[in-house]
A = this chain, B = another copy of it.
Amino acid sequence: MEGNKVTINDVARAAGVSKGTVDRVLHNRGEVSQKSKEKVLKVIEELGFKPNLYASLLASQKERTIVCLIPEHLPGEFWSLTDKGIRDAAVLVARYGVKVQIVNYDQYSLESFREACSSVIESKPSGVLLAPMFRDESLTFVNALVDNGIPYIFLDSKIEESGSLAYFGMPMYQSGFLCADILCGGREIPEKVYVVRIARDKQGLSDPTADRRNGFMDYMSRHYPDTQIVNVFINPKDKGEIYEVLDRSIGSDAGNKFIVMFNSRIHLVAEFIAERGIKDSRVIGFDALQKNLEHLRSGYVQALIAQHTDRQAVDAVNAMADYIVFGNPLAKKDNFTQMDILTKYNCEYY
């Protein structure tokens, strides 16, 4: 739309200085007399000079790295979906000379998260994608990022603070609301609803699904104020204990069993139910893990609320690359993923 053929050479000539000097004022690199600086700035303005992006990018062989900080995971677990998306995106952004690095931490160990964070800071990346499983530590971390001028994006869940470039994930609160509606909406008032939670939640370690639970609770207290919400805490790593705990609570309940979990582990409950031959349960969970889908098919889970986790990660990485390379601002701060409701009858096409 413009014949912007003005180059740095034109500017240098018109200002009576060399390219080098122009470049110095262009990037505020100092070592320029006030006089030259003003002159150059004036000429730039007059000529309407716009630096050529490609020449700049080519000449400054900068290393740009995006670090993605996510929980470690085994194949088939939730985070492997995100992991896949990140790897896919890595291939795409490689064209822009951007490297992507995944750093894992143990989502059950604060210490491991702390270590991962400091290693990330030390590596001085150009941008960070963070799945903030620990609230307070994550805040400390992003503050450090801000101090170092490193932009960051929240992935999968977010912390309320203002420094982040964006959030890519579900609208957590709404997803809890939706979950409650799928569980109970239009039905007779359930006497009890079991909310199965990871024991971690109990230990004061913050819970990334807290907001989802809030949405759920708000729905319930609004529409089913008389329903009793029973929290059950399990340790996902100890199957024996899980069964013990569930036997005591759900297993000993004679009535209809309404059960939800706010993370991707609903398969743990489904397995228990299947094994104990429990009937009359209504089980809702999150995320389209293979294991969850299996239980959906066999009818031990009635519905899953899912999202295209991999696409989400791809979008987040792309957005970050676009930002650090071209300086393109993000279109939206909240990039909410669509919430898909999966049942036995539509899950084959997901």
Q: Which residues of A contact B (CB under 8 A)?
A: 1-4, 50, 52-55, 57-58, 61-63, 90-91, 94-101, 326
19 additional A-B residue pairs with CB within 8 Å, beyond A1-B99, A95-B326: A1-B61, A1-B62, A1-B63, A1-B90, A1-B94, A1-B97, A2-B63, A3-B99, A4-B94, A50-B94, A50-B95, A52-B58, A53-B95, A53-B97, A54-B54, A54-B55, A54-B58, A55-B58, A58-B58
B53 touches A101 (CB 8 A): no
Closest to A61 in B: B1
Q: How far is the CA of A55 from the CA of B55 in the complex (A)?
A: 7
Stoichiometry, as copies per complex, reads 2
Taking the closest CB of chain B, its distance from the CB of A48, in whole angstroms, is 11
Closest to A311 in B: B331
Contacts of A54 in B (CB 8 A): 53-55, 57-58, 97
Q: How far is the CA of A156 from the CA of B100 in the complex (A)?
A: 37
Taking the closest CB of chain B, its distance from the CB of A168, in whole angstroms, is 14
A and B contact pairs by CB, cutoff 8 A, 11 listed: A1-B62, A1-B90, A1-B94, A1-B97, A1-B99, A2-B97, A53-B54, A53-B95, A54-B54, A54-B97, A95-B326
Partner of A2 from B4, B50, B99 at Cβ < 8 Å: B99
Contacts of A63 in B (CB 8 A): 1-2
